[in-house]
Every structure is written in C-alpha cells, then in structure tokens.
Structure 1
C-alpha cells in the first residue's frame, strides 16, 4: 500500500497529495473513465457511515496545482467532511479502508479526506499589536531558517485552529464558533518537498518559547499573479470626466489591467505636474528586465501610453453594450423603443470616449527601499511597486471617493502608520469597488523572483543575493468579513490607495486568541454577522478620530498603495504611502505637494 499522507491531521490522503491549494478540475465523461462509478461511490459512502465520518459531499475529480496538466495520476476521490478534535485516528483508518476497497476492485486512484475549511479559501484575522516581535526580530529569524528553500511569501496572522474544533451538531449548516491561533503562513514553490514537513520550524519556535504559534505550508508559484474580470457596473463609471478614483487603467496595446489609485501633484523645476498613480507592474509588467531602471520623463512618454479603462476592460464594456442592444431588439422587434435608443447611444458614447489618459512619467526601479525603521533594525527593505502617469491636457482625476452609504471622502493627504499596530482601512478599486478591511500589526515578507532549484533545497549562491530575489517587506491586510468573504484587494484592484477610515481607524491593543462567531460552512458560502475578536474583548468599538476640524470630518488619509493579494487566505498587501512618496521624490527629483504629508497617525 502507498504511503499515507498524514502531514495534516485534517487532510488525510491514501498517497502523498499535492500541497494545498489545489484546483478541482471535473473529469469529462466520468463513467467512461471509471465504470460503475455510482456503485463505487455508494460503497465508499457506506464505509464513511460505518466509521461515523460526518461528510458533506463526495465527488471524483482531478486535484492538482493550477500550473499542472490533468492526468490519471491526479484523479482523486474527494471526501469533504467535518474534522473534530480527537478524530484523526479514525480518519486515517477510514482512508485505509477506502484505499483497500479501491485496490480490490483494481482502481488505482487517490483518496483525499479533507476538512471543509480547507476545501476552498481560509479565513484569517489581523494582529492588533506585534505580540511576538515579529516585525523586528522573529520574521528575520524565520527567513534565515528557510533561506535556501524556494519560499515566495511568509506572513504571521491568526487562522482557525481546526485541530481544537469541538463538536458541531448542525454541520454542515451551522458550526460552533471556532478558535483562532497565531499561524505563520509559508507560500513556497517547493512546498511539496519533504524538508518543509520535518518539524524543524516548529521545534525552533518551541525552543524560543513560541510553541503556541502554528505553521501552515502552502504551494505558491508567484506572488500575486492572478486576473479577474471587471465589475460591469464599476466599469461603466470610468467613462466620465474627471476620471474617478479607483478606475480601470492599463497600457495601450496590452491586456494588463489594474486600478488608477488617485491623483498626485509633483512640483519640479518650478512647475506643478498633474499625475495619476498606480502600480509599476500594471503598466510595465513584472519582468526584472523591464524593471531594472527607473523610467522618467521623455523616454517613457514616447514608449508607454496609459488608457482608462484598460484595453481588455474596454472590450468587455463594448461586448456588454452589444448584448444589451441585441436583447432589446429581440424584445421590441423595432428601433422605436426608448430603452433601445438609449442603449445604442450609450454604446456610441463608449466607442467614442477618449480613453487615453496620458503617458508613463516615472516608475519605481529598485524593488525595495530602506525605510528609517528598517535601517535602524537591520530588517528587509520595504517593497516598491509604483508608477506615475502624466495626464494629457484636458484630463484630470477626481480626488473624492463615495462609499456605499453615499458619504463622500476627500483624499488630499497622506500619513505614516505605526508598523506594530493594526488599523481599520478602506479602498476603492477597479474590481471590487469600495471595500473595508484591516491592516495587521504583523508584516509580510516576500520575494518577487525565486532562484531555480538544484539538488534538494536551492543552492546558496551569489545570485541569491541579487536585487530581484531578496526578501522585501509589506503590510498585510485582511477583509472586513461583515461585508464580504473575498480578499480586501482582488486581482485588478492593484494600484488602489489604502485609506484610513476617518471615524474609526485604530484597533485596540491586546491578544485576539479567543472564541468568536463565524457560521460559515460549505452549504453557506456567505459569512454571517460575527463579532471581531477585538470588539468581543473590549466590549465594543474603539473609535479613534483623525485630528481634524469639523469641516475636515469627511477627509480620508492615504496610508498605503495596494499591489498584491493571496486568494487562499484572503490576504492583501500594501506599501506604506510615506515610503512610496519618499521614493517618488528620489526618482523624479521633484517634491510631492498633493497629497500633503500629515505625519504619523496612531
């Protein structure tokens, strides 16, 4: 019998399975691939019932990494169930029984018994303060432990402690409140290699008195590379003057799409230059060859034309407009309908809209910069991923943002934030619109490029220390699950400005490792109302209002610039705005006059 996969007590395999996350790909013509499939599933369900396995569903599919081609090797019988404390031995025995049954009937397919919380996205929560001195000490020690491995990202957040989950009588509809546990999340290209699973990291944490921290190893090929179609309603708002904050943007002639965060004014050589800001990777791509030099003034103006909306989003908008027209034509069988006339007029307006926003004025060249605190403490550099668009005559960007409650915020200032505290924030982006979330007090470490593997762990070499594979820091953000159970920054939201909520931006200090309400289950994909740990602990919200006059009560401060996300754990990442501004001024030899610097908040 093949070696059982028992690396995770709440995910047991009849053989070593690909490390999560994996894609579930349907098998075309399943009955031809597996004759008598229905009877085999019935037999497996009988085994599950005999062992009192509380499963939600059973299906057969390819289970593999997104960059892997389906083959018989990845055909898996997947059983989504509820893991409860103390049931690990039963799960192992059940998988062995199912594997033996398959062997007897001549089927050589994998079996995967997995807890429902792992079958999809995981929910994470922020740290309110840097309890474990992660930013200044622990993160660098962890990085040194895995220095020769192909890790992509490392973060410390709170994650559900599945192993301590108690009985849930109403599964899968409702579950008892889970407990959360501080967890170091590793994303690595070589996560399937045995050296990630040898307990050396856990042993180290125990040796320094941090045995309460768990670790989670996940497969991650590259940092933040995904794409998502634009929201059609949000997209339609981009065809107006001035260009709204959070609109779609991209380089002419390419399908790359991101968010136009907002407007910047730069004073240079006695002149004020109007600019827009987004991410460098949105306009110039991700390759180190394209990014090796900062791009300024005339060279860029002639090379990269920036459009809003982007080319791909504009095509989508026109496609939707034509669909509406065809639908109305079928409905009315004539051209006399007012709705049809309006739809045709709107299509013509979209086609004729001048999408040329301007040209690239400057972009970050180095992947990281040394912030004052990181220089003092010997930490990794802050990530840098910004680009400026010089606006064409007649083009401008609105510096206001209207939230779903129709409150308008003016965005004309930026601020610094403490690196060891949590904050409430919001943003306006091309994909998900206005969403609210939290900055965790614990930062993330990542690498943009990973050295090629050799024998075993990546060999330590001079190339490893080069610019594009060195560790870099960024702030970690999680969504407000009261609003929606998706990333705070979704693909296409890159380039969004992260704003401090002017009525409630500070999170109280204190540990969050406590029970809270979260009724999510496989049959209930929406996150129900829940009490955040800090509110349960403190007895209510701890409002912290920005120091401003009554007339400034609707002012929001820019805290950072978003640039990436992690779908598996619903994490998002940003660069501090004060660091971005400092680098803009260094690259352009100019002075940012708007937004204005309001100092450090919190």
Structure 2
C-alpha cells in the first residue's frame, strides 16, 4: 500500500496510479468511443502524449475504455483513459503528476473520464508461482500466520487466501481474493493491520474475486465422439443451465455386492440444482448448453456448405471442370448432415445422481503428517476444516455408448503415447510439490504443479457464517510452458492425475473444484473417497490405493525466475 498527499489520486498499489479511486484489479476491459466524450479527440491525445513526455513516462499504448470488475453493469459508468507505461522510465511521483495534469485536461474538456496509468506487467497480469517444498522458511511462515490472517479478514467477504510467489521478482505474497475488495475499510484498516503482522519480505495483495466456482461460463466448440463417455466429458443436469466436467469413474460395493460404476464430478456442478430444488436427478453428457451449441454449429456449417454447392452449380455449365469439385462438396455435405443427425438425436442421458456433498471435514491424515514433518504442533484447530465438493452419478447409459476410463500419459521419454487406465489413487505429502495433469470439459489437457502449502477457500454450504466457512484445499498453478491456467470455467469436476513418465496406470491425487485466476484448487482424492464411503455406506473398490504419491523431481525455479 502507498500513502498519498492527494486523497483524490489512487496510489494504493505501487504499480498503478489513477483518478478517482479505481476498481481493484482484475477488471474486464471494453472499448469506449472517444468521440462520444471529446469534441476534438486528436488534440486531446496529443496533449496526453505531451504530458507523458514532460514527465518522462514512456508508454506502450493508451486508449479510452471501460474498466470494470466482473459483473458490474456498463450503464452509467464513466470510461477510463487507460495508459500502459514502461517500467524502465516509471516513477510513482511522475505518475501522480501526470494523472493530476490529465485530470485537469479532462475537466477543461468537460469530460467525465477517469485516468489510469498502469505498468505493463500489471496490465497483462502478474505471473503466479507455487511455493516449493525446499522453501521451508515460507512453509513455516504460512503455518504460523494463516490462521491469524484469516481471523483478521473474516469480517470481510473474502473468498480465497493463498501464499504464492508473484510478479517479475517472484516475491512471496499473501494473496487475498474478495468480493468486497473495493470497500474502503480493506485499505484504511484491514490491510494496514495485516502489514504489521506479516514480515516485510512477504508482500500483501488484495484482488477482486466474485466466485471460485467454474461452471458453464465457457462453451465447447463441438461435442466429442458420441459413442464414448470419457474422462473430462461435458456434463450437466437435464434441463439445467450449468455445465461442468465428468472427471472420471469409481466403482462401489456394499455388503460384498457390486453396486456398479459411477461418474464423479462436483456437487456445485450437478448437485446444486437439486439442493436448490430447480433440477431433477437426471444427468446428461454433453450438458444441454454444449449440446445445443454443437447442434447450432452443425447447422451453420451445413448452411455454408449448401451455399457453396449452390454457387458451384451456377458455374458448372460454363466450367465443366468444376464437376469433381461439386461432387466432393456434395460428399462432404452428406457426411456433415449424417454427423449432425447423430448429434441431434443422441441419447445423452447417462444416469441419475446417487450421492452428493458440499461441506467441510477434518483431514486427520494430512494434519498428522504435517505435524511430524514440521516437528511442531497441529497445523490447525478443529475450527479449520477441509473443503468437500463432490457428487456421484449412477451410470445407466444406452448400449450405443461405452465408458472410456483411460488418460493419455507420457512414456519413458516424455512423449504422449500411453493410454493408461485411471484405476489408482494416492495420498499426497503435505509439504511436497507434485507434477499433475487434468482433462477438462473446457480446456482439455493441461499441466500444473501442486504447491507445498495449502490454500484457504470459503465455502457457503452447511454453515451459519455470514460469508461462509474457511476451508483448506491444495492449490495448483499451470505449467507456464504449456498454459498459465490449470482450470478454466467449465472444468470443475476434473480429476487431477499425477503426471509421471512411463506409468501404466494413471494415479488420481485430487478433484478440481475452483480457481482464483491463475491459482486452481483441488480436494485431496483420498479425502473425497473416504467421504464417499461414509456418505453412501459403500466401499470404493476402484480406484485402488497406490500409497504415497511420487513428488516432483525438479525443485529448481525456472531460469527466468529472480527468486
């Protein structure tokens, strides 16, 4: 946080200056038409350039736009002149002076327009990295501070609390995601209190976050092979609006009798509608919205092909050589129409909800291992529990569809070439890193690394707390060589697998359920399976227990890291 002699100028964070007080990052940006607000936009832009040059602020770009938090309606909101500055020539004092002068310029123009100068790194979004198992000091700092921090921020509508590394310098940072991040009390009271509590070599960062759930805000472009129900398939309630991921499969038995195969997803994907009384028990794959999108896309493609054929027919008399091309286009049209009919009439019902749970639980195994590893007292008292968000679907599919419980995994040389049955699960060491992979409805196959410290996520289910109960989970950051994001909207319910070379059986370590921008969250799979057994009174016979998971071998920072 930064102090400021002019309270009208926003200097709360070191990488951004503006007027008036700006919405807390991240924001969504949309274009605003400059001629709507300025009579002579060309001269205004020239004067802005002159002001920036006067204060030696080099800039990548500037433009008029709306910069608002997710969910804030556009109507009645003032636009912002957003200026992206270069770090090499940046200074806080120069930014303050430039903002004040640009503000005066807009007042002379009678333009109700905000001003924002932001460093390019902050504009594109800070890189986020995990805490390594070798960083014992940070692991101990988390253990000693997180409950104190949580109790301090509990009066606010926060959703997540993480210890990560952030930014170009890869500094350790307590990162808080909150719905009410724009409330002045965070900045005037709570963050200063936390600053006194947290060591100076660990940063504090508050970001806006409206939800951790990842259902249905993204749509797939197509529907996969209709004959298979694979791990990572799209799923939803019949007639529902949500869409998420069918992560994989389990088998149960009770009193020695097999109960069959069950699909696994999140409760907030399939069970929330039941809890709220707006959905029935039937589950479909693909989800309604994905199926409707596939049908619509198929019709558009057929219309385009039909128009192409009509154009060719008009030229056949004059150019007979186009007859083979016409025949080819007709064949393609017939194939596309056949595929479209298959999708349209697909029996998508895969079964009914069998059991679901969205609540908290103790994790005695984790806590005991944590205590032994750190040679200290228990990690937390009984008021801090672990997140549970799962559901089971009793599968009952038509004969034309079959289950594909395999994942494409790397061979001994690191090349994708093993179709490994997903039939085992592992426990995780509390302070180790793990290379993981998931298959999801939206983003497909993504790679990530599990952090050596857990995260706090607030759950609203089964609690009388105003803002929800703080719960623990494991956090994952996407492998930056492949993707920055491990989970995307619609990926909730994905199984998280160990990404180990040469394994003939894929091993499950977690069930993904949410995200705070670059940080994804999962529940340990051993905890989920124990909860399933307790809830259903049945025994999980598949996947089978394969012991302690193999941790990541490479504990070095990337070459471009400055930590």
- TM-score with structure 2 setting the length: 0.84
| 1:201–1:112 CA distance, 2 compared to 1 (3 A) | closer
Residues 219 and 289 in structure 2, CA contact (< 8 A), matched pair in contact too: no
Residues 259 and 495 in structure 1, CA contact (< 8 A), matched pair in contact too: yes
Residues 246 and 259 in structure 1, CA contact (< 8 A), matched pair in contact too: yes
Identify which of 376, 379, 383 aligns with 1:377: 379
Report the 3-state secondary structure (helix = DSSP H, G, I; strand = E; otherwise coil) of the residue aligned with 1:397.
Answer: strand
Q: Which residue of 2 aligns with 1:326?
A: 303
Report the 3-state secondary structure (helix = DSSP H, G, I; strand = E; otherwise coil) of the residue aligned with 2:389.
Answer: coil
| Corresponding residue pairs, total | 506
| 1:134–1:430 CA distance, 2 compared to 1 (3 A) | farther
Deviation of the 1:476 alpha carbon: 0.9
Deviation of the 1:399 alpha carbon: 1.5
Q: Hey, what's the Cα distance between the residues in 2 that align with 1:4 and 1:135?
A: 34
1:438-487: CA deviations, max 9, x gaps? Answer: 11112211213399xxxxxxxxxx9427xx711011111111110123x1
Identify which of 372, 378, 402 aligns with 2:408: 402
Q: Hey, what's the Cα distance between the residues in 2 that align with 1:204 and 1:152?
A: 17
Instruction: Write the mapping of 1:223-234 to structure 2, written as runs, cut at 5 A.
Output: 223-224=212-213, 227-232=216-221
Deviation of the 1:378 alpha carbon: 2.8
Q: Which residue of 2 aligns with 1:421?
A: 432
Q: Hey, what's the Cα distance between the residues in 2 that align with 1:59 and 1:5?
A: 19
Q: Which residue of 2 aligns with 1:311?
A: 288
Instruction: Write the mapping of 1:175-194 to structure 2, written as runs, cut at 5 A.
Output: 178-194=168-184
1:477-516: CA deviations, max 9, x gaps? Answer: 111110123x10111111110000123xxxxxxxxxxxxx
| 1:200–1:421 CA distance, 2 compared to 1 (3 A) | same
Deviation of the 1:381 alpha carbon: 1.1
| CA RMSD across the alignment | 2.6
- TM-score with structure 1 setting the length: 0.79
Q: Hey, what's the Cα distance between the residues in 1 that align with 2:142 and 2:202?
A: 15
Q: Which residue of 2 aligns with 1:159?
A: 166
| 1:231–1:363 CA distance, 2 compared to 1 (3 A) | same
State which drifts further: 216-225 or 39-48: 216-225
| 1:290–1:499 CA distance, 2 compared to 1 (3 A) | farther
Which one scores higher on RCO, CA 8 angstroms, separation ≥ 6? 1
Report the 3-state secondary structure (helix = DSSP H, G, I; strand = E; otherwise coil) of the residue aligned with 1:329.
Answer: helix
Residues 127 and 157 in structure 1, CA contact (< 8 A), matched pair in contact too: yes
Residues 262 and 397 in structure 1, CA contact (< 8 A), matched pair in contact too: no
Q: Hey, what's the Cα distance between the residues in 2 that align with 1:349 and 1:119?
A: 45
Q: Which residue of 2 aligns with 1:469?
A: 468
Q: Which residue of 2 aligns with 1:594?
A: 542
Q: Hey, what's the Cα distance between the residues in 1 that align with 2:51 and 2:407?
A: 56
Deviation of the 1:10 alpha carbon: 1.2
Instruction: Write the mapping of 1:214-229 to structure 2, written as runs, cut at 5 A.
Output: 214-224=203-213, 227-229=216-218
Q: Which residue of 1 aligns with 2:139?
A: 132
Report the 3-state secondary structure (helix = DSSP H, G, I; strand = E; otherwise coil) of the residue aligned with 1:572.
Answer: strand
Quick check: 1:150 aligned with 2:157?
A: yes
Report the 3-state secondary structure (helix = DSSP H, G, I; strand = E; otherwise coil) of the residue aligned with 1:441.
Answer: coil
- For structure 2, the residue ranges without an aligned partner over 5 or more in a row are 1-5, 314-325, 369-377, 410-414, 551-563
Deviation of the 1:37 alpha carbon: 2.0
Deviation of the 1:201 alpha carbon: 4.7
Residues 214 and 490 in structure 2, CA contact (< 8 A), matched pair in contact too: no
Instruction: Write the mapping of 1:136-285 to structure 2, written as runs, cut at 5 A.
Output: 136-160=143-167, 178-198=168-188, 201=191, 204=194, 210-224=199-213, 227-232=216-221, 235-237=223-225, 239-241=226-228, 243-272=229-258, 273-285=260-272
Instruction: Write the mapping of 1:63-102 to structure 2, written as runs, cut at 5 A.
Output: 63-71=67-75, 73-84=77-88, 87-102=91-106
Instruction: Write the mapping of 1:11-26 to structure 2, written as runs, cut at 5 A.
Output: 11-26=16-31
Residues 220 and 290 in structure 2, CA contact (< 8 A), matched pair in contact too: no
Instruction: Write the mapping of 1:554-569 to structure 2, written as runs, cut at 5 A.
Output: 554-567=504-517
Q: Hey, what's the Cα distance between the residues in 2 that align with 1:422 and 1:192?
A: 34
Report the 3-state secondary structure (helix = DSSP H, G, I; strand = E; otherwise coil) of the residue aligned with 1:323.
Answer: helix
Report the 3-state secondary structure (helix = DSSP H, G, I; strand = E; otherwise coil) of the residue aligned with 2:344.
Answer: helix
